[in-house]
Amino acid sequence: MSRRDPPDPPPPADAWPPEESADRFIRSERFALLVLMVVEHLATRYPRMDFSVAAGTFFEWIDRRVASDPGFFGSGRFPSERSFSSYVHQAVWNAGRLADRQRRRERRGRFEPFPARVDLVSNELGPEYLAVLHDCIDRLSDLEREVFERLTQGEWPDGTDDRAGYIASVLRCSHDDLAAAFESASEKVMDCLGLKDQRGPRRRKGGGRARR
């Protein structure tokens, strides 16, 4: 598995969805292994972020989430283990971003657990959609993937007004190359997701809009 491949779920030991209750499943070795794989993948991909804190936050959150919704695995919410893995991946990533932001703002403060009513993954983004989105992003070139992820869900120092300029300096590329890579990546992801009809008019290199 390459560094940028999304973590695959551990080999299924049982049927999916799990036969045990959600409360028992999130305390199982199978679930712990899945979360560990996700955390290790993200820690390798984003070494500047502390995902040990994110993992603790995630476990506290998922425990509250399941307690408030006993039918967590019901109604076909997670039709495959892959879709659930993508859900965990997104939740841990979001927890990592929140923890990193809080750590920068409160260097000596306490990390408070997220309440059950706060969802680390938007309900508008279904598990299957997240799985497809991750696959689409993984098909991008290295530069496209770096630019797309950093501009849409990356982190930057507090007080950074010129985000594009900051990312261009980190990736050691020009603003034009950054803009071209982001436009190309956005188009490819939207095409992959079947959303190409929602794109606006393409821009020419000179900054104008392409003629129809």
The residue type of 21 is S
Indicate whether 206 and 146 sit together in one domain.
yes
pTM, two decimal places: 0.56
Residue 129 sits in the same domain as residue 175? no
Residue where a domain terminates, one of 138, 169, 193: 138
Contact assessment for residue 3 and residue 50, using Cβ atoms and an 8 Å cutoff: no
Tell whether 134 and 144 lie within a shared domain: no
Contact 185, 144 (CB under 8 A): yes
* Domain housing 26: 1-138
Distance CA 188, CA 186 (A): 5
Residues 111 and 167 both lie in one domain: no
Do residue 63 and residue 86 come from a single domain?
A: yes
Residue with tokens 């059950």: 116
List the one residue out of 115, 111, 136, 126 whose CA is nearest residue 56.
Answer: 111
Contact 21, 70 (CB under 8 A): yes
Which residues of the chain, if any, have pLDDT below 50?
A: 1-3, 11-12, 108, 113-118, 197-212
pLDDT of amino acid 154: 60
Instruction: State the pLDDT at residue 31.
Output: 92
